[in-house]
A = this chain, B = another copy of it.
Amino acid sequence: MTTSPLFTPVPLRSTTLPNRLVLPAMVTRLSGEDGVVNDDIRARYVRFAKGGVGLVVVEAMAVHSAKSGPLLRISSDEFAPGLSDLARRCHDAGPGRVFPQIIHFLKISRSGWRQTIDMLSLEEIDAIVDAYGAAAARARACGFDGVELHMAHAYTLSSFLSRLNPRKDAYGGTLENRLRLPVRVLTRVRAEVGDDFPVGVRFLGEECIRNGYTVVDAGPIALRLARAGADYISLSAGGKFEDARHIEGEPLYPYTGYSGDRCMPGANYPDGANLYIPEAVRAFLRSAGDETPVIAVGKISSAALAEQVIARGQGDLVGMARALLADPDIPRKWRSGREDTVVRCLYGNVCKALDENFRRVDCTLWPKKMGQAPESDDTIAPVWPAAGPGLRAEFAEGRVLLRWNAATDNEAMYGYQVFRDAGTGLLAHFSSVRGASARFEDPRVVGGDTYRYAVRPYDLAGNRGPMSDVVSITVPV
Chain A residues with CB under 8 Å of chain B are: 163, 170, 173-177, 179, 183, 208-217, 220-221, 223-224, 227, 243, 257-261, 267-270, 273, 276, 280, 287-288, 397-399, 422-424, 443-449, 475
Contacts and interface: CB of A to CB of B under 8 A. Distances in A.
Nearest to A213: B268
Nearest to A395: B176
A258 B270 contact: no
A170 to B, nearest CB: 8
A175 B448 CA distance: 13
Given A217-B268, A270-B214, A423-B288, A448 B280 contact: no
22 contacts: A163-B268, A173-B398, A174-B397, A174-B398, A174-B399, A174-B443, A174-B445, A175-B443, A176-B398, A177-B398, A210-B257, A210-B258, A211-B268, A212-B258, A212-B261, A212-B268, A214-B273, A216-B267, A216-B270, A221-B446, A223-B446, A258-B259
Contacts of A267: 216
Contacts of A287: 424
Contacts of A475: 176
A446 B163 contact: no
Contacts of A260: 210
Contact of A173 (B212, B261, B273, B443): B443
Contacts of A273: 214
Given A258-B258, A424-B287, A220 B268 contact: no
A217 B267 CA distance: 11
Contact of A176 (B177, B217, B261, B447): B447
A200 B175 CA distance: 43
Contact of A261 (B211, B257, B446, B448): B211
Contact of A444 (B175, B214, B422): B175
Contacts of A268: 163, 211-214, 216-217
Contacts of A177: 398
Contact of A227 (B216, B422, B424, B448): B448
Nearest to A258: B210
B214 A446 contact: no
Contacts of A270: 214-216, 280
A449 B289 CA distance: 13
A276 B314 CA distance: 14
Nearest to A265: B214
Contacts of A261: 210-212
A6 to B, nearest CB: 24
Nearest to A259: B258
Q: Which 4 A-B residue pairs are closest in the complex by CB-CB distance?
A: A174-B398, A174-B443, A210-B258, A224-B446
Contacts of A445: 174-176
B288 A424 contact: yes
